Amino acid sequence: MKQDIQAMQLFVDSMVGIPKFSYPAKKDAPRPANEFCHIQLLEEYAVGLPVKTWFSEDATSTTYRVRAMSRLRFRLGIVETEGIASTKIMHGWTSEAMKGLMISTGYGFCKCEPISIEDAKLEQFWEARQGFSVELYVERVYTETIDFIETLIVTGEYEFAGLDSILMVIEVNYN
């Protein structure tokens, strides 16, 4: 999602200390002139079960708030000459400044690993010299509205062991 990439850009730019150091990865996009980092969201995994809680109710429906945890996996490619930005990205996730940023944005750090096998994939966006696989946690929150049943008609023949058949018609109408 776009907001996830924007959050990662905020994290990378803050760790490196260079505004607009990172960019979303786009195939065949023009290459930035100086050192830079490209960011791609690769995968999102559901973690655990969603939690549904009552939110509101009106005359015709009930609305629930659903909260679900997700683990996001990003690929970062850093094109640089000195290697300082790569070092800051590899080791900067647990700094106090990053902890504050993560609390304010709602993301949590899981892990950062260097990648080498994926370098061929990184090169299709721009020439990558150093790559990282970064995983973050985030809470997804959305609402679900369920309409009330306004009319219900149950008909049929019900048989009980040892008794005769019972014909039933049950009608529920909230109008």
The pLDDT tens digits of the residues spanning 142-174 come to 999 998 877 777 777 766 676 766 667 777 666
Domain presence at residue 61? yes
Domain presence at residue 172? no
Q: Cα–Cα–Cα angle for 48, 53, 58, nearest 5°?
A: 150
- What is the model's pTM? 0.74
Domain presence at residue 57? yes
Contact 115, 133 (CB under 8 A): yes
Give the model's pLDDT for residue 14. Answer: 95
Domain presence at residue 33? yes
Domain presence at residue 107? yes
Q: Which of 84, 49, 92, 40 shows the shortest CA–CA distance to 70?
A: 49
pLDDT digits (tens, 9 = 90+) for 93-140: 999 999 999 999 999 999 999 887 555 555 555 554 688 999 999 999
Average pLDDT, the chain: 85
How many domains does one find in the chain? 1
Domain that holds residue 95: 2-149
pLDDT digits (tens, 9 = 90+) for 26-61: 877 777 778 888 999 999 999 999 999 999 989 888
Contact 133, 73 (CB under 8 A): yes
Domain presence at residue 102? yes
Domain presence at residue 173? no
Please state, for a pLDDT cut of 90, what percent of the chain lies above it.
50
- Is the predicted pLDDT of residue 91 greater than 50, yes or no? yes
